Structure 1
Amino acid sequence: MTQRPAKEEYGGHFGTYIDLVPDGSIVDILTDDLKATSEFLSDLPLDKAEHRYAPGKWSIKEVIGHIADTERIMSYRLLRIARGDATPLPGFEQDEYMKYVDFDAYSLADLIENFISVRRATLTLVRGLTEEAWARTGTASNTVMSVKALAYVVAGHGMHHLRIVKNKYLA
Protein backbone atom coordinates (compact mmCIF):
# COMPACT_ATOMS: atom_id res chain seq x y z
CA MET A 1 0.00 0.00 0.00
CA THR A 2 1.84 3.07 -1.26
CA GLN A 3 -0.98 5.52 -1.86
CA ARG A 4 -1.66 8.03 0.92
CA PRO A 5 -5.20 8.23 2.28
CA ALA A 6 -7.39 10.89 0.70
CA LYS A 7 -8.84 13.62 2.92
CA GLU A 8 -12.25 11.92 2.69
CA GLU A 9 -10.78 8.81 4.38
CA TYR A 10 -10.33 10.52 7.75
CA GLY A 11 -11.40 13.56 9.67
CA GLY A 12 -10.87 15.57 12.75
CA HIS A 13 -7.42 15.83 14.22
CA PHE A 14 -6.18 12.66 12.49
CA GLY A 15 -4.71 14.70 9.65
CA THR A 16 -2.12 16.06 12.07
CA TYR A 17 -0.66 12.56 12.36
CA ILE A 18 -1.19 11.47 8.76
CA ASP A 19 0.64 14.54 7.45
CA LEU A 20 3.79 13.50 9.35
CA VAL A 21 4.10 10.19 7.50
CA PRO A 22 6.44 10.25 4.49
CA ASP A 23 5.41 8.94 1.09
CA GLY A 24 5.98 5.29 0.34
CA SER A 25 4.70 1.90 1.38
CA ILE A 26 3.00 2.23 4.77
CA VAL A 27 4.11 -1.30 5.65
CA ASP A 28 7.73 -0.36 4.93
CA ILE A 29 7.32 2.90 6.85
CA LEU A 30 5.93 1.08 9.90
CA THR A 31 8.74 -1.50 9.65
CA ASP A 32 11.46 1.15 9.38
CA ASP A 33 9.85 3.14 12.19
CA LEU A 34 9.89 0.09 14.45
CA LYS A 35 13.67 -0.13 14.07
CA ALA A 36 14.29 3.62 14.37
CA THR A 37 11.97 4.09 17.34
CA SER A 38 13.24 1.09 19.29
CA GLU A 39 16.85 2.20 18.71
CA PHE A 40 16.04 5.77 19.77
CA LEU A 41 14.26 4.61 22.91
CA SER A 42 17.04 2.16 23.76
CA ASP A 43 19.56 5.01 23.62
CA LEU A 44 17.61 7.17 26.09
CA PRO A 45 19.55 7.90 29.26
CA LEU A 46 17.84 6.11 32.17
CA ASP A 47 17.95 9.29 34.26
CA LYS A 48 15.76 11.02 31.64
CA ALA A 49 13.06 8.32 31.48
CA GLU A 50 10.89 9.90 34.18
CA HIS A 51 11.69 13.47 33.14
CA ARG A 52 8.80 15.88 32.50
CA TYR A 53 9.56 19.02 30.56
CA ALA A 54 6.93 20.98 32.50
CA PRO A 55 4.61 20.46 35.47
CA GLY A 56 1.58 18.36 34.56
CA LYS A 57 3.23 16.92 31.43
CA TRP A 58 3.79 13.21 30.96
CA SER A 59 7.17 11.64 31.64
CA ILE A 60 9.05 10.05 28.76
CA LYS A 61 7.99 6.64 30.14
CA GLU A 62 4.38 7.76 30.06
CA VAL A 63 4.77 8.97 26.48
CA ILE A 64 6.14 5.57 25.45
CA GLY A 65 3.27 3.79 27.20
CA HIS A 66 0.76 6.14 25.57
CA ILE A 67 2.20 5.48 22.10
CA ALA A 68 1.78 1.72 22.61
CA ASP A 69 -1.72 2.04 24.09
CA THR A 70 -2.87 4.22 21.22
CA GLU A 71 -1.36 1.89 18.63
CA ARG A 72 -3.26 -1.01 20.20
CA ILE A 73 -6.50 0.93 19.96
CA MET A 74 -5.91 2.11 16.39
CA SER A 75 -4.87 -1.37 15.28
CA TYR A 76 -8.00 -2.83 16.86
CA ARG A 77 -10.07 -0.30 14.94
CA LEU A 78 -8.13 -1.16 11.80
CA LEU A 79 -8.82 -4.88 12.32
CA ARG A 80 -12.54 -4.39 12.88
CA ILE A 81 -12.98 -2.18 9.83
CA ALA A 82 -10.73 -4.35 7.63
CA ARG A 83 -12.89 -7.36 8.50
CA GLY A 84 -16.03 -5.52 7.44
CA ASP A 85 -17.39 -4.77 10.91
CA ALA A 86 -19.66 -1.74 10.46
CA THR A 87 -20.21 -1.17 14.20
CA PRO A 88 -19.33 2.43 15.09
CA LEU A 89 -16.28 2.35 17.36
CA PRO A 90 -16.08 4.73 20.31
CA GLY A 91 -13.34 7.22 20.94
CA PHE A 92 -11.10 7.13 23.97
CA GLU A 93 -9.83 9.78 26.32
CA GLN A 94 -6.07 9.53 26.66
CA ASP A 95 -5.93 11.36 29.98
CA GLU A 96 -8.48 8.98 31.51
CA TYR A 97 -6.32 6.04 30.41
CA MET A 98 -3.30 7.59 32.11
CA LYS A 99 -5.16 7.84 35.42
CA TYR A 100 -5.25 4.05 35.65
CA VAL A 101 -1.68 3.13 34.81
CA ASP A 102 1.68 3.94 36.37
CA PHE A 103 4.08 3.73 33.45
CA ASP A 104 6.81 5.26 35.63
CA ALA A 105 6.75 2.03 37.67
CA TYR A 106 7.72 0.05 34.55
CA SER A 107 11.33 -0.33 33.55
CA LEU A 108 12.34 1.50 30.40
CA ALA A 109 13.29 -1.87 28.91
CA ASP A 110 9.79 -3.24 29.57
CA LEU A 111 8.16 -0.22 27.94
CA ILE A 112 10.39 -0.60 24.87
CA GLU A 113 9.57 -4.32 24.72
CA ASN A 114 5.87 -3.46 24.95
CA PHE A 115 6.15 -0.99 22.06
CA ILE A 116 8.06 -3.53 19.95
CA SER A 117 5.47 -6.25 20.64
CA VAL A 118 2.57 -3.97 19.74
CA ARG A 119 4.24 -2.80 16.53
CA ARG A 120 5.10 -6.34 15.47
CA ALA A 121 1.45 -7.31 15.96
CA THR A 122 0.38 -4.29 13.90
CA LEU A 123 2.79 -5.28 11.14
CA THR A 124 1.54 -8.87 11.12
CA LEU A 125 -1.99 -7.53 10.71
CA VAL A 126 -1.31 -5.01 7.94
CA ARG A 127 0.97 -7.31 5.93
CA GLY A 128 -1.97 -9.66 5.43
CA LEU A 129 -4.51 -7.11 4.23
CA THR A 130 -5.99 -7.35 0.76
CA GLU A 131 -6.47 -4.31 -1.48
CA GLU A 132 -10.19 -4.49 -0.69
CA ALA A 133 -9.51 -4.44 3.05
CA TRP A 134 -7.21 -1.39 2.77
CA ALA A 135 -10.05 0.53 1.11
CA ARG A 136 -12.78 -0.34 3.63
CA THR A 137 -14.18 2.42 5.78
CA GLY A 138 -15.92 2.50 9.11
CA THR A 139 -16.67 4.90 11.92
CA ALA A 140 -14.28 5.48 14.80
CA SER A 141 -14.52 8.40 17.23
CA ASN A 142 -17.55 9.66 15.30
CA THR A 143 -15.33 9.99 12.22
CA VAL A 144 -15.32 8.05 8.96
CA MET A 145 -11.95 6.30 8.76
CA SER A 146 -10.43 4.01 6.18
CA VAL A 147 -8.18 1.11 7.07
CA LYS A 148 -5.40 2.88 5.18
CA ALA A 149 -5.91 6.08 7.19
CA LEU A 150 -5.74 4.15 10.46
CA ALA A 151 -2.39 2.63 9.47
CA TYR A 152 -1.11 6.13 8.74
CA VAL A 153 -2.44 7.36 12.10
CA VAL A 154 -0.50 4.58 13.84
CA ALA A 155 2.73 5.70 12.18
CA GLY A 156 2.14 9.43 12.49
CA HIS A 157 0.98 9.36 16.12
CA GLY A 158 4.24 7.79 17.23
CA MET A 159 6.24 10.20 15.07
CA HIS A 160 4.36 13.12 16.61
CA HIS A 161 5.19 12.11 20.16
CA LEU A 162 8.81 11.24 19.46
CA ARG A 163 9.30 14.65 17.89
CA ILE A 164 8.00 16.19 21.13
CA VAL A 165 10.36 14.01 23.17
CA LYS A 166 13.33 15.11 21.04
CA ASN A 167 12.38 18.79 21.03
CA LYS A 168 11.06 19.32 24.56
CA TYR A 169 12.42 16.56 26.76
CA LEU A 170 15.92 16.10 25.40
CA ALA A 171 16.71 19.54 24.00
Structure 2
Amino acid sequence: MPPEPDDSSVASSTAAAESYTKVLQGRYELGSVLGWGASSKVYRTRDVRSGVHVAVKAVRKPHHPCSPEDPVAAHRSVERELAALRHVQGHPHVGHLLDVLASHSTVYLVLDLARGGSVQSALEDRVRSKEPAAYWLFGQLVSTLAHVHPRGVFHRDVTLR
Protein backbone atom coordinates (compact mmCIF):
# COMPACT_ATOMS: atom_id res chain seq x y z
CA MET A 1 0.00 0.00 0.00
CA PRO A 2 2.10 2.91 -1.19
CA PRO A 3 1.26 6.29 0.19
CA GLU A 4 -1.16 8.16 -2.02
CA PRO A 5 0.09 11.41 -3.47
CA ASP A 6 -1.30 14.41 -1.65
CA ASP A 7 -0.78 17.64 -3.60
CA SER A 8 -0.17 19.61 -0.41
CA SER A 9 2.42 17.24 1.03
CA VAL A 10 3.93 15.05 -1.67
CA ALA A 11 5.66 16.17 -4.85
CA SER A 12 7.83 14.54 -7.48
CA SER A 13 11.46 14.29 -6.59
CA THR A 14 14.30 15.48 -8.78
CA ALA A 15 16.65 12.93 -7.25
CA ALA A 16 15.94 10.29 -9.89
CA ALA A 17 19.57 9.20 -9.88
CA GLU A 18 19.14 8.09 -6.26
CA SER A 19 15.83 6.33 -7.10
CA TYR A 20 13.77 8.48 -4.76
CA THR A 21 10.26 8.87 -6.09
CA LYS A 22 8.32 11.19 -3.77
CA VAL A 23 9.02 13.97 -1.31
CA LEU A 24 6.95 14.10 1.88
CA GLN A 25 6.05 17.63 2.91
CA GLY A 26 9.25 18.99 1.35
CA ARG A 27 11.42 17.16 3.88
CA TYR A 28 11.77 13.41 3.25
CA GLU A 29 12.50 11.69 -0.08
CA LEU A 30 10.90 8.23 -0.18
CA GLY A 31 13.03 5.48 -1.66
CA SER A 32 12.70 1.72 -1.84
CA VAL A 33 10.38 -0.39 0.28
CA LEU A 34 12.24 -2.08 3.14
CA GLY A 35 9.30 -4.12 4.40
CA TRP A 36 5.57 -4.21 4.87
CA GLY A 37 2.92 -5.48 7.23
CA ALA A 38 -0.84 -5.82 7.32
CA SER A 39 -1.47 -2.09 7.55
CA SER A 40 1.76 -0.34 6.62
CA LYS A 41 4.90 -0.17 4.50
CA VAL A 42 8.37 0.93 5.58
CA TYR A 43 10.48 2.95 3.13
CA ARG A 44 14.17 3.78 3.04
CA THR A 45 14.09 7.57 3.06
CA ARG A 46 16.50 10.49 2.90
CA ASP A 47 16.09 13.65 4.96
CA VAL A 48 16.38 16.45 2.38
CA ARG A 49 17.80 18.94 4.88
CA SER A 50 20.52 16.81 6.43
CA GLY A 51 21.05 14.04 3.85
CA VAL A 52 20.69 11.42 6.61
CA HIS A 53 18.94 8.18 5.71
CA VAL A 54 15.97 7.29 7.90
CA ALA A 55 13.04 4.88 7.74
CA VAL A 56 9.48 6.05 7.18
CA LYS A 57 6.61 3.80 8.18
CA ALA A 58 3.54 4.74 6.14
CA VAL A 59 0.29 3.70 7.83
CA ARG A 60 -2.81 4.18 5.66
CA LYS A 61 -5.86 5.66 7.29
CA PRO A 62 -9.12 3.89 6.57
CA HIS A 63 -10.58 6.54 4.28
CA HIS A 64 -13.64 5.07 2.66
CA PRO A 65 -16.97 4.60 4.50
CA CYS A 66 -17.10 1.02 3.22
CA SER A 67 -13.54 0.24 4.30
CA PRO A 68 -13.27 -3.14 6.05
CA GLU A 69 -11.02 -1.51 8.64
CA ASP A 70 -12.68 0.06 11.63
CA PRO A 71 -11.47 3.71 11.69
CA VAL A 72 -11.60 3.89 15.49
CA ALA A 73 -9.55 0.68 15.87
CA ALA A 74 -7.03 1.87 13.24
CA HIS A 75 -6.63 5.21 15.04
CA ARG A 76 -6.12 3.42 18.37
CA SER A 77 -3.51 1.15 16.78
CA VAL A 78 -1.44 4.12 15.54
CA GLU A 79 -1.78 5.88 18.90
CA ARG A 80 -0.69 2.70 20.70
CA GLU A 81 2.37 2.36 18.45
CA LEU A 82 3.35 5.99 19.03
CA ALA A 83 2.98 5.59 22.79
CA ALA A 84 5.10 2.42 22.76
CA LEU A 85 7.84 4.07 20.69
CA ARG A 86 7.96 7.04 23.05
CA HIS A 87 7.89 4.80 26.12
CA VAL A 88 10.97 2.73 25.21
CA GLN A 89 13.29 5.58 24.19
CA GLY A 90 16.65 5.90 25.92
CA HIS A 91 18.33 2.59 25.09
CA PRO A 92 21.24 2.42 22.63
CA HIS A 93 19.64 -0.42 20.66
CA VAL A 94 16.15 1.06 20.40
CA GLY A 95 15.44 3.19 17.35
CA HIS A 96 14.19 6.72 17.87
CA LEU A 97 10.93 8.20 16.69
CA LEU A 98 12.17 11.31 14.87
CA ASP A 99 9.00 12.83 13.44
CA VAL A 100 5.31 12.19 12.77
CA LEU A 101 3.67 13.51 9.59
CA ALA A 102 0.19 13.04 8.19
CA SER A 103 -1.73 13.57 4.99
CA HIS A 104 -5.45 13.03 4.44
CA SER A 105 -4.85 9.34 3.72
CA THR A 106 -1.66 8.32 5.55
CA VAL A 107 0.22 8.73 8.83
CA TYR A 108 4.01 8.72 8.44
CA LEU A 109 6.28 7.71 11.33
CA VAL A 110 9.88 8.83 10.73
CA LEU A 111 12.30 6.50 12.53
CA ASP A 112 16.01 5.76 12.79
CA LEU A 113 17.11 3.49 9.95
CA ALA A 114 18.07 0.02 11.20
CA ARG A 115 21.04 -0.40 8.86
CA GLY A 116 21.77 -3.91 10.10
CA GLY A 117 18.43 -5.27 8.92
CA SER A 118 16.43 -7.88 10.80
CA VAL A 119 18.00 -10.12 13.43
CA GLN A 120 17.02 -13.13 11.35
CA SER A 121 18.86 -11.83 8.27
CA ALA A 122 21.92 -10.99 10.39
CA LEU A 123 21.98 -14.52 11.75
CA GLU A 124 21.59 -16.01 8.28
CA ASP A 125 24.08 -13.72 6.52
CA ARG A 126 26.79 -12.87 9.03
CA VAL A 127 26.71 -14.95 12.14
CA ARG A 128 25.99 -18.51 11.06
CA SER A 129 29.50 -19.85 11.74
CA LYS A 130 31.00 -17.02 13.79
CA GLU A 131 30.47 -17.70 17.48
CA PRO A 132 31.88 -14.36 18.81
CA ALA A 133 29.55 -12.44 16.51
CA ALA A 134 26.61 -14.55 17.72
CA TYR A 135 27.48 -13.75 21.35
CA TRP A 136 27.67 -10.04 20.53
CA LEU A 137 24.33 -10.11 18.71
CA PHE A 138 22.65 -12.15 21.43
CA GLY A 139 23.93 -9.74 24.10
CA GLN A 140 22.43 -6.76 22.26
CA LEU A 141 19.14 -8.58 21.81
CA VAL A 142 18.88 -9.56 25.49
CA SER A 143 19.82 -6.04 26.59
CA THR A 144 17.13 -4.52 24.38
CA LEU A 145 14.43 -6.96 25.43
CA ALA A 146 15.34 -6.40 29.10
CA HIS A 147 14.72 -2.68 28.46
CA VAL A 148 11.41 -2.90 26.58
CA HIS A 149 9.61 -5.84 28.22
CA PRO A 150 9.33 -4.32 31.73
CA ARG A 151 7.76 -1.29 30.02
CA GLY A 152 5.03 -3.52 28.59
CA VAL A 153 6.30 -3.38 25.00
CA PHE A 154 6.55 -6.59 22.97
CA HIS A 155 7.17 -6.88 19.24
CA ARG A 156 7.80 -9.68 16.79
CA ASP A 157 9.96 -7.58 14.44
CA VAL A 158 13.42 -6.89 15.77
CA THR A 159 16.03 -5.07 13.67
CA LEU A 160 19.69 -4.13 14.10
CA ARG A 161 20.81 -0.52 14.31
Q: TM-score, normalised on structure 1?
A: 0.28
Structure richer in helix, relative to its length: 1
Greater Cα radius of gyration, structure 1 or 2? 2
Structure ranking higher on relative contact order (CA contacts 8 Å, 6+ apart)? 1
